[in-house]
Amino acid sequence: MKNKHLIIIPFFLFTLDLSSKNLINHVKIESDKVEFINSLNKVSFFSNVNINSSYVEISANSAIYDQKKEVISISGDPSSIKSNKENNLFNGEAETILFFSDEKVHLVGNALIKFDNLSINSNLIIFNPKTGKITSDN
């Protein structure tokens, strides 16, 4: 049986800076609790999760960074997202937010996004905060 390593680090505030050539230019994740699962190349964040990048700020209950897929899966009741750029203002929420390495965002489950004077509700909203392009799938 292979040994699995699980490290639990309880902190009042834990910050992880995820920077690499292939990942988002600069992503900062803060949470109250973090679990590293080395054998799965995943990092889990729990309680008061805040994610900040060049373009977005996301608040949630939990998040999992998958290093192999280079995606952050964010869950909440609901999770919320808002713009960090004054010239591209939006805000939204969903049950799950998928944040990809190219900063594209998928809002999944009871998704809502407000952009300019437009409000979109759908089960799936795909959004590029860099370009402002929004697609929806009912």
Question: DSSP state, 103?
Answer: S
Q: Which residues contact 108 (CB under 8 A, 6 or more apart)?
A: 94, 95, 96, 97, 98, 123, 124
Cis peptide before 78 (omega within 30 of 0): yes
**For residue 35, pLDDT beyond 50:** yes
Domains of the chain, start order: 6-137 (2.60.450.10)
**For residue 92, pLDDT beyond 60:** yes
To the nearest 5 percent, what fractions of the chain are helix, strand and coil?
0, 70, 30
Mean pLDDT of 80-100: 87
**For residue 135, pLDDT beyond 70:** yes
**For residue 16, pLDDT beyond 70:** no
**92: enclosing H helix or E strand:** strand 90-100
How do residues 52-71 score in pLDDT, each as one tens digit? 988 889 999 999 999 888 89
Tokens of 119: 């409000």
Mean pLDDT taken over the chain: 80
**For residue 51, pLDDT beyond 50:** yes
Please name the amino acid found at residue 76. G
Q: Contact at 8 Å (CB) between 104 and 55?
A: no
Would you list the DSSP string of 35-84? EEEGGGTEEEEEEEEEEE-SSEEEEEEEEEEETTTTEEEEEEEEEEEEES
| pLDDT reported for residue 136 | 66
